[in-house]
Amino acid sequence: MTIAEATVAAPDGTAEPQRRVAVVTGAAAGIGNSIAERLARDGFAVALIGRTPGTAAAAAADIVAAGGTAAGYDADVADREQVDAAVEAIRADLGPVSVVVANAAVAPQQSFLDMTLDEWNTTIGTNLTGTFNTVQSCLPDLVEAGWGRVILISSSSAQRGAPRMAHYAASKGGQLALAKALAVEFARQGITVNTVVPSSIDTPSVEKKRAAGKIPSAEDMAKFIPVGRMGTGADIAGAVSYLASDDTSYVTGQTISVNGGSFIG
Ligand SMILES: NC(=O)c1ccc[n+]([C@@H]2O[C@H](COP(=O)([O-])OP(=O)(O)OC[C@H]3O[C@@H](n4cnc5c(N)ncnc54)[C@H](O)[C@@H]3O)[C@@H](O)[C@H]2O)c1
């Protein structure tokens, strides 16, 4: 996509073009950070949302240093007031939102029989209700513009299950269903809603689990992936870039599995 394609007229009617604004949650590290970097390269003004104070601003500064337009905001996506405050600040700083990428998530491991209600609620609250909070807070801007892209980052665990991750798999399956429902509800308003489903993406959080002995080495995992390697954040960002573009006005309610050929989903 060219920068020109990612621009809209300024709200005050002046000829000065304004970059489309893309919001990415969980954008300080990992896949979310790769998505933010890619959308900035595509010409979007990117609003990075992070939970740990200051981390999104630091990641945004890196994007600005590389020549992009970006700003960072602190918010826990499970907390609606924090999300609304961040989105208000984004509107004031960058303009109305055009693209929403709900990426923030926690991925704890716990056997189902030992899982507490608190653990269940925290995972659903972050991954699924956090997606609801983010999308609902931003969506009025997309409706107002008659153009928008909503992209949810789910997980292959929603397609094939995952032992000791029932709460996570359920939250990620909820995202798939939420995307389908929103796709048909907003189809006539120029808004597409799609899901990207990663699997086996080598990110710092995966590396942490590997170091703790909770998952196999990258080499061992690669043996079971048809393309012969783990994925990267850039692999996911490429799919998000496509879904955020003007090319996808007839693509909605779809699931793109970015998994090296591992699973049919
Ligand atoms: N890495 C993989 O192999 C893989 C596989 C399937 C799905 N995914 C999905 O991809 C996305 C990114 O995964 P990742 O590997 O980069 O993991 P990650 O843990 O590095 O990224 C998740 C980000 O979300 C943030 N976050 C967590 N809770 C939050 C909250 N309440 N409010 C705001 N931010 C919060 C974290 O701080 C982190 O930056 C997640 O949705 C994950 O479920 C990843």
Span from the CA of 26 to the centroid of ligand 1 (angstroms):
6
Q: Is the CB of 255 under 6 A from ligand 1?
A: no
Span from the CA of 17 to the centroid of ligand 1 (angstroms):
33
As annotated, the active-site residues are: 168
- Whole-model pTM over 0.85: yes
Euclidean distance between the first and the last CA atom of the chain, given in angstroms as a whole number: 27
Q: Is the CB of 198 under 6 A from ligand 1?
A: yes
CATH architecture of 4-201+233-258: 3-Layer(aba) Sandwich (3.40)
Q: Which atom of ligand 1 is nearest to the CA of 30?
A: 16
Is the pLDDT reported for residue 58 higher than 80? yes
CA dist 42 → 133, 159, 254 (Å): 26, 30, 22
Span from the CA of 8 to the centroid of ligand 1 (angstroms):
30
Give the model confidence (pLDDT) of 143-180 as tens digits. Answer: 999 999 999 999 999 999 999 999 999 999 999 999 99
Cα-based torsion angle of the residue sequence 193, 197, 202, 204 in order, rounded to the nearest 10 degrees: 50
Beta-sheet pairing, 17-19 with 7-9 = antiparallel
Strand spans (E) along 51-188? 69-74, 97-102, 148-153
Q: Is the CB of 167 under 6 A from ligand 1?
A: no
Report the pLDDT value the prediction gives residue 10, as an integer from 0 to 100.
52
Angle at 18 between CA 135 and CA 254, to 5 degrees: 35
Q: DSSP for 182-242?
A: HHHHTGGGTEEEEEEEE-SB--HHHHHHHHTTSS--HHHHHTTSTTSS-B-HHHHHHHHHH
Q: Work out the percent of the chain whose per-residue pLDDT is above 70.
A: 92
Report the pLDDT value the prediction gives residue 18, as an integer from 0 to 100.
83
Q: When comparing pLDDT for 89 and 8, which is higher?
A: 89
Q: For the chain, what are the domain ranges?
A: 4-201+233-258
Mean pLDDT throughout 33-55? 98
